[in-house]
Structure 1
Amino acid sequence: MSDGQRADARRNYARILAVAEKEVAAHGAGASLEQIARTANVGSATVRRHFPTRRALLEAVSAHRIEALRVRAAELTGKDDSRAALMDWLDDVVAYCVSARGLAAALAYDGAVYENSCSAALEKAGEPLLRQAARDGAVAPEVTVGDLIAVIVGIVLATEHHPDPAARADRLFRLTVAGLSPRN
């Protein structure tokens, strides 16, 4: 492949990704790959060459958001109140998932054999926060970041079409964290 072809392929990739980010934000995880190709002014085969599966496209679209959550987890690690730090990060994960339509779908377990890079990155980022909270007795030791991400994904997917998805997702997440028992 010549340098010109590689440069053209890089430009196509960037253009497809930019269009895909807008389409996923507008239409969620079910955004039309054909519409993405038309808007990016490339053929469907070009889209599929760069993103062989819908999940690959969603993971690429979500990559910068995942990086922002990783950075946020690092900023919160080591704070005095480990439960508050973990909750702040989880609040950010919920907010990102609600605002970035398609991110919850990218994080969802689909039974695929390959590792879900979005979930793996979030689990790695959140692990130090969760370990510290567990050491401090603020979180049950058997809880995993994967468990927490699965709960968030479920809540976000369940509230996606609610008139106020952010408020509803936040309420359900708070209810989940607090549990069903009345406050003493």
Structure 2
Amino acid sequence: MRADAQRNYDRLLEEATQAFMVHGTEVALEDIARHAGVGIGTLYRHFPDRYTLMNAVFEQEVVKINDRARELLDAPDPVEALTDWLRTVGVHSTAYRGLAHAIMSAPDAKMPACKTLLRSAGDTLLQRAKDAGAVRTDTTIGDLLKLTNAIVLTAENNRDDKGLFGRLMTLAVDGLRTRETAPATAG
């Protein structure tokens, strides 16, 4: 890529990252282009549609999430490792308003890099927990990511309830444990 084209690409990514954080993923692409100092045609040459731009922005975040998954592979409790990773996914999703909705509503073909990387990292942690007999065998990483994104959406729509995300994640994780590993309930 030519140096000027690379500069434009980098500025567009930087502006898109900021715009998605402040205004959400539905921000006008024209605004991103204008703040990056380029025309809308330049934006579309680099990113043919909104999902291509979102994929490029969020791919950077997914690398951090995957790094966290690798760190957790040696954690002594595989369920706690999986839970920690799912919370990391949730925290990164909440940084960008509308990201959880965009990921959930986009077909796999629209955000392939993000979805593939997330599923791969999470599936390794999930398989480790399954192998330990600690989580239900019918659990899939796709289900857990959808559940996590649904919790993020709920928390985004109830911003006044600061503990909602944590409470719902705890309920979700308790539900995926096998009966033998589920925490004892007060009775």
Tell me if 1:81 matches 2:77. Answer: yes
Compute the RMSD of aligned alpha carbons.
2.1
Match of 1:47 in 2: 43
- Does 2:93 match 1:97? yes
1:141 aligns with 2:137: yes
Contact map agreement 1:21 1:61 (CA 8 A) in 2? yes
Please tell me the residue identity of whatever aligns with 2:138: E
Relative to structure 1, the CA distance from residue 109 to residue 18 in structure 2 (aligned partners, 3 Å threshold; closer, same or farther) is: same
TM-score by length of 1: 0.87
Deviates more, 1:66-75 or 1:92-101: 92-101
Q: CA deviation at 1:173?
A: 1.9
Counterpart in 1 of 2:118? 122
The count of aligned residue pairs is 178
Partner SS, residue 79 of structure 1: coil
The answer to whether structure 1 residue 62 and structure 2 residue 58 are counterparts is: yes
1:33 aligns with 2:29: yes
Unaligned runs of 5+ in 2: 176-183
Cα distance change of structure 1 residues 89 and 166 upon mapping to structure 2, 3 Å threshold: farther
> Is the 1:106–1:118 contact (alpha carbons within 8 Å) kept by the matching residues of 2?
no
- Name the residue aligned to 2:171: 175
Report sequence identity in percent: 39
Deviates more, 1:161-170 or 1:140-149: 161-170
Partner of 2:5: 9
Q: What is the TM-score when the length of structure 2 is the normalising length?
A: 0.86
Unaligned runs of 5+ in 1: none
SS in 1 for 2:163: helix
Task: Give how far 1:106 is off.
Answer: 4.7
**How far apart, in 2, do the equivalents of 1:124 and 1:112 lie?**
14
